Chain A
């Protein structure tokens, strides 16, 4: 049996070792570092199934900051699985990194490219365990700062640099709001621990307005992380400019961690009814804006960016209904279908670019990739028997159970818009004639295995969601 905090330590050690090997062995083929990272992450993922349950009697101060319950373990697995998928994508993306970084050798910078996601992953795992604002802040910043570097990694590409600047400034503003919000919550309650805050807030006779002010500021900061409207301005530009595997990581990892923190932070604020109204308003705006703005997009990365905003909307509906189960299942489904679509995009965009035209006639160039993208798009749109459908079903079910009928009507309306833009991609793949090149696209065995696993996951969870519910218990 392993104690839960060792998981993060293991990820950090893995990242550090890879960085050390990278700096001391100039001749090594850098792709081996990527394979080493994959192997290590797989071991740590398997180790999460042997974590000893947290002893409630343990009174060490550490456990005031850190929880190792079933939910946090579940989100740790999401972080590890996402990082594994992203590193598989990075191995495919490696040639573009080398051309995007100035250096003396053909593989300059590649070692860091494989090491940085590991530090992000450790941050995501700490975030899923954080039950104190101090740890929430520090782990959130660990994730954000390593993302600054990753977004601007291909620094000879002006779009990547521009995305990095935009992400840097807007994300730092969000950090400012977060710490100022934490300050006011601390001022009103005198505590930084979320459980103690809950106790104080349920008593009467505290400064309710100050706590509410702090809560709203924290929600603004987290709304930025999960890409909710009106804090979404960075999303499209940063997603388009960042290297594609990093975009996938941003849209899955950053969002999953943002939602677990949001669920934990909102728990004490359940007492205050104003919070509920605010969240409903954000959810409606996010659903409508995300789905409508995706309609005219012709760049697939931008389309997926707006789709990521739209999915944040569905997740917010689940948050408003306080259904942790629906949020968790939806995030798993979202992980599967988003990683799938970005993995195909990495392969297709290398010769052709991110535009929709490069997908034209994909069914002739690579029937396997075409099918993978079809599954991803069908699941994102919410076609029955896919994980995406069941995720939406659970969300709407939770919303109806808590009498948010207006929200469900808006959400179902926007699903219709979703079908249009997702099937625009499918139409390009199966009906349009190939635009420029008709060469076959070569899929490496590792990527093929990863894609098959993602496709299988999408279908299995679409009909048999029980494993997810068991893991949450």
Chain B
């Protein structure tokens, strides 16, 4: 029997992988994938919390599950705009490496 704790652990690991991916990887597209992982970690634990913590009437609070749908939609919109910006960057600079994007400084 999978418990709430199991779901939360998996989601915590996903979030940690996502965040460390953002910090450590140098390719903007990989960083973007890692960001999606962070959002999906939150989705997983939202659904788990909603499913395991039932209200007094025995039904889950569906607000959390609705929020998951919103997060999925927003993430798609974010990817659409984000990839467009990355393509524009690649056209202008011929690179997607964040270490080459350093013209704005003190």
A145-B77, A162-B103 as given contacts; A169 in contact with B31, CB under 8 Å: yes
Collect the chain A residues with CB atoms within 8 Å of residue B104's CB.
159, 162-163, 166, 236-237, 240-241
Residues of B within 8 A of A134 (CB): 63, 66-67, 70
Contact B61 A190 (CB under 8 A): yes
- Kindly identify, within residues 106 to 161 of chain A, every residue whose CB is under 8 Å from any CB belonging to chain B: 132-134, 137-138, 141, 145, 148-149, 152, 155-156, 158-159, 161
**Contact across chains for A176 and B18 when beta carbons are under 8 A apart:** yes
Partner of A165 from the list B18, B77, B89 (CB cut-off 8 Å) is B89
In contact, B67 and A169 (Cβ under 8 angstroms): no
B43: A residues at CB distance < 8 A: 179
Q: Measured between C-beta atoms, what is the minimum distance from A221 to chain B in Å?
A: 11
Task: Check if A182 sits within 8 Å of B67, measured CB to CB.
Answer: yes
A173 at the interface (CB under 8 A from B): yes
- CB neighbours (8 Å) of B31 from chain A are 169
What's the least CB distance linking B88 to chain A, in Å? 5
B44-60: CB near A (< 8 Å → 1, else 0) gives 01100110010100000
> Is the CB–CB distance between B85 and A148 below 8 Å?
yes
Enumerate chain B residues within 8 angstroms of A176, measured Cβ to Cβ.
15, 18-19, 35, 38-39, 42
Verify if A186 is at the interface (C-beta below 8 Å from B): yes
Contact yes or no, B82 A137, CB < 8 A:
no
Interface band, chain B: 35 or more
Interface size on A (CB < 8 Å)?
A: 42
Considering the complex, which residues of chain B in the window 1-48 have a beta carbon less than 8 Å from any beta carbon of chain A?
A: 8, 15, 18-19, 22, 28, 31-32, 35, 38-39, 41-43, 45-46
Q: Are A180 and B35 in contact (CB under 8 A)?
A: no
Complex CA gap A193/B67 in Å reads 12
- Candidates B38, B82, B101, B105; contact of A148 at CB < 8 Å: B82
Q: What's the minimum C-beta distance from A175 to chain B, rounded to whole angstroms?
A: 7
Contact call B103/A159, Cβ cutoff below 8 A: yes
Contact check: which of B63, B88, B92 meets A192 at CB < 8 Å? B63
- A161, B63: Cβ atoms closer than 8 Å: no
Is A472 on the interface with B (CB-CB < 8 A)? no
Query: Which residue in chain A gives the minimum CB-CB distance to B23?
Result: A173
Q: Nearest A residue to B102 by beta-carbon distance?
A: A162
> Of B86, B98, B101, which is in contact with the most chain A CB atoms at under 10 Å from its CB?
B101
Of all chain B residues, which has the CB nearest A149? B81
Q: Once the chains bind, are A168 and B85 in contact (CB under 8 Å)? A: yes
A127 to chain B, nearest CB (A): 14
Hey, which bits of chain B sit against chain A, CB under 8 A? 8, 15, 18-19, 22, 28, 31-32, 35, 38-39, 41-43, 45-46, 49-50, 53, 55, 61, 63-64, 66-67, 70-71, 74, 77-78, 81-82, 85-86, 88-89, 92-93, 98, 101, 103-105
Question: Can you sample 19 A-B contacts with CB below 8 Å?
Answer: A132-B63, A137-B71, A148-B85, A149-B81, A158-B92, A163-B104, A169-B22, A169-B98, A172-B32, A173-B19, A175-B74, A176-B39, A179-B43, A180-B45, A182-B67, A186-B64, A190-B53, A190-B55, A236-B104
CB within 8 Å of B: which residues of A?
132-134, 137-138, 141, 145, 148-149, 152, 155-156, 158-159, 161-166, 168-169, 172-173, 175-177, 179-180, 182-184, 186-187, 190-193, 236-237, 240-241
A163-B104, A176-B42 given; name 10 further pairs at CB < 8 Å.
A145-B77, A148-B78, A152-B85, A165-B86, A165-B98, A180-B41, A182-B42, A186-B67, A190-B49, A237-B105
